[in-house]
Amino acid sequence: MEPLRIGIIGTGGIAHAHARAYLAIPEVTIVGGADIVPGKARAFLDEFGLTEARDFASHEDLLKMDLDAVSVCTYNATHALCAIDALASGRHVLCEKPMSITLAEAVAMTRAEKASGKILSIGFQPRYDVNTQKVKSIIAEGALGKVYYIQTGGGRRRGIPGRTFINKETAGVGALADIGCYALDFALNSIGYPKPLTVSAYASNYFGTNPKYYADAARFQVDDFSAAFIRLEGDIVLDFRMSWAMHMDTTGDFVFLGTDAGLKVRQPHMKWWGGAWDGPIGQISFMHDQFGIPTETPVPLAENTGPSLFEKKVRAFVDAVINGKEAPIPTSQILYNQAILDGIIRSSAEKREVAIEIEQI
């Protein structure tokens, strides 16, 4: 079999993780890279010894090559443009998270995917953590009864990423999209991705815009904290909190409340990260009644073996392309994630509860 021909669009930070993952898969060859910053794609390809691979200053030119699939590793604001063009040219797409910066873009990406007959998978690697999967299976087995409330918890005390993450033009949205999308994916995926109905939200940026706390404050244009109360189909509510910076170590644990039992989930690196839900899980407690007595039973954590979570995400995409499978992390789900981000932005701007409406695709 001919190797799968891969192109990488956007050769900044995370493109390195994509390249490393592809290079570890024998059925794949990286044939090109594109970045709008002159010389950046060439330097990137050379860094990996990919001297035969071609470099381009635009994704349009890269898409003129003979390619099977692309990774979209651009900053958030150009995910939709690059993914839609790649799908329209008949390529499968692995797009970095968040899916996009607006719901309208996510809808357009999903339409482009449908029209193309190719797959569009969104890069949420915590899905491959065995303990994240354990939470989902505990809930799916019915151990919690009916889940009626979820709290996302976590959030960083000081963790503004800087670079292209703090401008409207490149990032579009701040902490909410950067790490909030992970918390939403964990919450929603654990309970089967129910449809979001309404959102009442708050967002602010008191830290990013204050030189006392953030050296690059003059450039800071996005949110650094948000909280929201989200109603989901099935009479479930989601109490969401996310932060790049705050005067607190964490906004709490990740909590699932059910009619028969509850689950409390903690991050592994509370001291320095506070919990962003972008990696593996630190501790899971099963809260239940045993012989009528409220009891806390630790759920034994399993060890992740084999490739990193990131590599697993890239491998799952490659496997889906080669074997004609569905997208491993499908747009049908992530559209709901993006709809909530969109609702949080609208609600916090309008300072009232808003309805979530998703156009028919």
Give whichever of 123 and 154 is closer to ligand NAD, judged by the CB atom. 123
The site map against ligand NAD for 100-129 (x = CB under 6 A) is: -----------------------x-x----
Q: Pick from 115, 42, 124, 109: which is nearest to 78 by CA?
A: 109
What 3 state SS string does 13-57 have? CCHHHHHHHHHCCCCEEEEEEECCCCCHHHHHHHHCCCCCCEEEC
Please choose, out of 5-13, 86-94, 196-204, 280-288, the segment that lies near ligand NAD by the rule CB under 6 A: 5-13
Among 6, 25, 53, 73, binds ligand NAD (CB under 6 A): 73
Please choose, out of 30-38, 63-71, 106-114, 317-325, the segment that lies near ligand NAD by the rule CB under 6 A: 30-38
CA atoms of 41 and 47, how far apart (whole Å): 10
List of residues 6+ apart from 208 with CB closer than 8 A: 160, 166, 174, 214, 217, 220, 222, 224, 244, 245
Among 68, 105, 129, 178, binds ligand NAD (CB under 6 A): 178
List of residues 6+ apart from 196 with CB closer than 8 A: 230, 231, 232, 233, 238, 336, 339, 340, 343, 356
Give whichever of 40 and 92 is closer to ligand NAD, judged by the CB atom. 40
124-163: contacts with ligand NAD (CB under 6 A): 125, 163
183 touching ligand NAD, by CB under 6 A: no
96 touching ligand NAD, by CB under 6 A: yes
CB-based contact 345:240 (threshold 8 Å) = no
310-339: contacts with ligand NAD (CB under 6 A): none
Among 12, 194, 282, 330, binds ligand NAD (CB under 6 A): 12
CA atoms within 13 A on the CB side of 152: 30
Give whichever of 180 and 258 is closer to ligand NAD, judged by the CB atom. 180
Q: How far is the CB of 79 from ligand NAD (least distance, A)?
A: 6
The site map against ligand NAD for 190-219 (x = CB under 6 A) is: ------------------------------
Please choose, out of 32-40, 242-250, 266-274, 330-338, the segment that lies near ligand NAD by the rule CB under 6 A: 32-40
Q: Is 359 exposed, middle or buried (0-12, 13-18, 19+ CB in 10 A)?
A: exposed
Question: Residues in the site for ligand NAD, rule: CB under 6 A?
Answer: 9-15, 34-37, 40, 59, 73-76, 78, 81-82, 96-97, 123, 125, 163-164, 178, 278
